[in-house]
Every structure is written in structure tokens, then in C-alpha cells.
């Protein structure tokens, strides 16, 4: 029993050090892309879906084709729960052109924890995505933090200077 525990500990240490080696090289191994509206692309579901926060803080979900363009698609269930755990805000979605738009705005604040649930059709499994919608400006790209496509802070560049140089 002791040898199994030792073996599992060794494997766990090796796995952690391998993962941290990949993280330390400063490269984002999965290239992030913004959606056609500048939102976050959720890739855990096929077809992919863009999560975009409109100027009035409503959430717009747009299904995407293989070229990252808006695609006509009918989803069975779209639900979003966000905000404070003790007083969450529930958003439902209605079709609007090629997208779905929430019935309400996101709760106040710059960093809103959300749980997005998507069920494509009656036969498919529900996909659940949990993330923070950070509405702060990214220091180095033109997207808000929730949809940021750069790997700022990890590569040694002065992103504040780079952003100022772009203007």
C-alpha cells in the first residue's frame, strides 16, 4: 500500500512540474480568438458560441460556423445565472436575428461570476460553462478582459507602453 501511495505522489509531482513548465514558457498554447462582435468564444460546444456583452449590459449569444462567422442556429435551452450567490440574477434568451439576446442586463459591477447553460437540442447533453465576466479594459488588446485574446502579464512585455504606442 505504501508503494502505491509513493508511486501516486511521484506521478502527481511529475504532472504538476510538467504543467508548470508549459505555463512558464510564456506561450498560450491554445490560440484565443475573439468572436465576430469582439466577444469571448466558447469552444466547449459544437458549434462554438460567442458570448458578448452589449453596451446596455445584456448578453448576446451567437453561434458560429467553422469560419468564426455568425450562423443561423436554434438552441433548445439557453440560461445564464450571474452575480451574487445569495441573490443571483437569472437571464433567459430570445432569438434576435442570428443571435440570442438576454431578457435582462447583467448585475452591476465590473467582475460578475456567471454560469452559462446551453442545451442544443432535446437529445444532447447540457453544457455548463462557469467563468467571470470581467468588464475591465485589457491593458494590451482592444477587448474587455472577459474576451481578451492576448496573454498579457505572462510574457515580459510592457503592455501599457505598447497600448499607448498604438494610439
| Structure confidence at residue 31 as a pLDDT band (50, 70, 90) | low
DSSP 7-62: HHHHHHHHHHHHHHHHHHT---SS---B-TTS-EEE-SSSS-EEEEE-TTSEEEEE
- Find the angle CA(154)-CA(155)-CA(157) to the nearest 5 degrees: 115
| Structure confidence at residue 87 as a pLDDT band (50, 70, 90) | very high
Q: Whole-prediction pTM value?
A: 0.72
| Structure confidence at residue 74 as a pLDDT band (50, 70, 90) | confident
Residue 117's closest CA among 75, 151, 150, 153?
75
8 Å CB contact between 159 and 148: no
What domains lie within the chain, and their CATH numbers?
Answer: 40-135 (2.60.40)
Q: What is the pLDDT of residues 110-146, one digit of tens each?
A: 999 999 999 998 898 999 999 999 999 988 888 899 9
Mean pLDDT across the stretch 46-70?
95
* Confidence at residue 152, expressed as pLDDT on a 0 to 100 scale: 63
Residues near 36 by Cβ (< 8 Å), separated by ≥ 6?
A: 50, 62, 64, 68, 69, 70
Amino acid at each position: 500500500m505504501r508503494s502505491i501511495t509513493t508511486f501516486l505522489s511521484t506521478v502527481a509531482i511529475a504532472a504538476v512540474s510538467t504543467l508548470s513548465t508549459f505555463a512558464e514558457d510564456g506561450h498560450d498554447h491554445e490560440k484565443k480568438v475573439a468572436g465576430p462582435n469582439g466577444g469571448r468564444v466558447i469552444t466547449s460546444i459544437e458549434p462554438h458560441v460567442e458570448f458578448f456583452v452589449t453596451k446596455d449590459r445584456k448578453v448576446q449569444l451567437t453561434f458560429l460556423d467553422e469560419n468564426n462567422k455568425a450562423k443561423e442556429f436554434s438552441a433548445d435551452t439557453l440560461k445564464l445565472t450571474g452575480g451574487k450567490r445569495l441573490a443571483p440574477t437569472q437571464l433567459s434568451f430570445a432569438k434576435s436575428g442570428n443571435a440570442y439576446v438576454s431578457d435582462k442586463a447583467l448585475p452591476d459591477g465590473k467582475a460578475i461570476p456567471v454560469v452559462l447553460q446551453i442545451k442544443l437540442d432535446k437529445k444532447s447533453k447540457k453544457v455548463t460553462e462557469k467563468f467571470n465576466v470581467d468588464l475591465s479594459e485589457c491593458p494590451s488588446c482592444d477587448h474587455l478582459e472577459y474576451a481578451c485574446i492576448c496573454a498579457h502579464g505572462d510574457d515580459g512585455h510592457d503592455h501599457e507602453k505598447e497600448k499607448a504606442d498604438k494610439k
